Amino acid sequence: MENNELINDDCNCRRRSGFQRLLDKTPHPIALVTIFGVLGLILTWIIPAGKFERAINPETNVEMVVAGSFQYLEKSHPQTVLDFLFSFWNGMIASNSFTVYLLMIGGAMSIITSTGAIDAIVYKANGFARKRAGFNYIIIGVLAAFFGFCGSTFGMSGETLIFLPILVALCKTLKFDAVVAVAISTVMANLGYACATTNAFNLVIAQGIAGLPFMSGIEFRICWAIFSFSVTIAYILRYAKKVQKDSSQSLVCDVDYSEFSSMESESSHIKLTIPRLLSLLSLLAAIVGVVYGAIVYQFGFKQLSTLFLAAAFFCILINRMSLNKAAEDFAKGAATMVVPLLLLGFARSFLLIMQDGMIMDTIINFLAQPMSLLPKTITVGAMVLFQGILNIFIPAASGQAAISMPIMIPLADLLDINRQVAVFAFQIGDGVGNIVIPTFGTIMAALAIAKIPYGRWFAFAMPLVVIQYCLGIGATMIAHAINYGPF
């Protein structure tokens, strides 16, 4: 049956094959991040080297740029082809802890999945949704809100990758597609950075640099998060309804997803037995532990991966799985993470080569100077755009905060703009662009796992990015108009 469905999908997709051929001209994700690395190499030969002075903030222990200290260097630092090749190695090394984390999570999730527990609950969810009109949309909305909450509160981002195989299977069963799976997880979690309420990776660091009270202004940010998430969920559901109504409208209707489990017929019924139920509860306990541990105890990758490993070992015991079977499943799951891990490491090469070429500070200084010449109301919107452009070069939230906020805060003081407004502009610019920029390794890894060509993802995500930037700029102007503070 599945093969026939694939054939039918191919036939349906022929109606839009011209559009797909246009989208498919986008290079493979690894090729795309390599092209950006080449661009960085070329820029080191064109842009003059320069640097800001940096100092350690004694209160936050964060290295920050000293505002007004920029100067061009007498000697340029153009990078060589050998430096370019080294940048890929250095990018992988810089991702070492996250690499180990994802390999362990991939293996652990493969063991849990092999018990059939997830297939069984997906089948139950599908049967429940079929009996209640519209319930499948409620499932998508609730999951999207959950991942958005996790991104906004404790900074979930790369962790969403471990859930993607399950979500692709679920969305496939509910007659949606892999685009919806990535949207409700990776997109919503990273949009949570733009809607940060308590996120330590961007908001807390930025407020610390600005000298603002910890978590101050949270009421306005909660209102913004609710509004922004609602708009995004509506955008996702609009696409999901279109796909469910006509599968040929799916951007990935011709992609083979047969490797992802799906409960689309009664013949594929897998019973939710006691061992499988206990396996699901162990997975749920691990997820709750991740959320609680990250918020309360600031768990690192070591603790987070251990939670899922513990759940995997429990599943081995409760399902009486042989050690050979468990080892094979673990190796299979870890292997699925190789391409995403390569993308995470390779995406860093763009930043590293520009840092080594000493041109990053020159770019930042060039982008920041014109804002001092604009009216205040326009300047706060320009701050969002500045952060959005900077985010292409520095997609890491904490790194971007440490580099840009020491420049934005003195500029805000000079123009009589509240520092809280400058922090809000930073979080909008930091989070929205990560939905689509190729230099953000997490989104590229998510697309690799979900088998979504980048060009097709761009067609889905770019309108959402434009919408969110427009809304974010409007929200920043409102924040300035209402004197969003305390100062």
DSSP state of 266: G
Question: Hey, how many other C-beta atoms are within 10 angstroms of the C-beta on 135?
Answer: 15
Query: Are the C-beta atoms of 460 and 243 separated by less than 8 Å?
Result: no
pLDDT band at 445 (very low <50, low <70, confident <90, very high): confident
Taking the C-alpha atoms of residue 259 and residue 239, their distance in angstroms, rounded to an integer, is 24
> Residues of the chain with pLDDT > 70: what percent?
89
Neighbours of 338 (CB within 10 A): 14
CA–CA distance, 286 with 305 (Å, rounded to integer) = 9
Sequence-separated (6 or more) residues with CB below 8 Å from residue 169: 118, 119, 122, 260, 261, 262
Looking at residue 8, what is its pLDDT? 42
What are 189's two structure tokens?
């979690």
Residue 126: which residues within 8 A CB-CB, separation 6 or more? 173, 174, 263, 264
Residue pLDDT, tens place only, 258-288: 777 654 544 346 778 899 999 989 988 887 8
Given this model, what pLDDT does residue 9 score? Answer: 45
CA distance 145 to 129: 19
pLDDT for position 37: 86
CA distance 174 to 370: 50
The token pair that represents 51 in the structure block: 């640097």
Domain ranges of the chain: 2-481
CA–chain centroid gap for 87, Å, is: 23
Task: Find out whether 161 and 446 touch, Cβ atoms under 8 Å.
Answer: yes
DSSP string, 92-150: HHHTHHHHHHHHHHHHHHHHHHHTTHHHHHHHHHHHHHHHSTTHHHHHHHHHHHHHHHH
Sign of CA dihedral 239, 245, 246, 247: positive
Q: How far apart are CA 191 and CA 222, in angstroms?
A: 13
Q: Choose from 198-202, 285-289, 439-443, 456-460 the range with maximum mean pLDDT.
A: 456-460
Positive or negative: CA dihedral 165, 336, 193, 470: negative
Structure tokens given for 10: 């191919």
Question: Is the predicted pLDDT of residue 296 greater than 50, yes or no?
Answer: yes
pLDDT of 383-428, one tens digit each? 999 899 888 888 877 777 877 887 788 778 767 889 999 999 999 9
Return the SS3 of 64. Answer: strand
Residues 226-231 have a mean pLDDT of 97
Tokens of 47: 């842009």
Give CA 144 to chain center in angstroms: 13
Query: Looking up tokens 């205040």, which residue turns up?
Result: 376
Looking at residue 257, what is its pLDDT?
A: 84
Q: So what's the pLDDT on residue 145?
A: 93
User: How far apart, in whole angstroms, are the C-alpha atoms of residue 155 and residue 194?
Assistant: 11
* Element housing 50 (H / E): strand 50-51
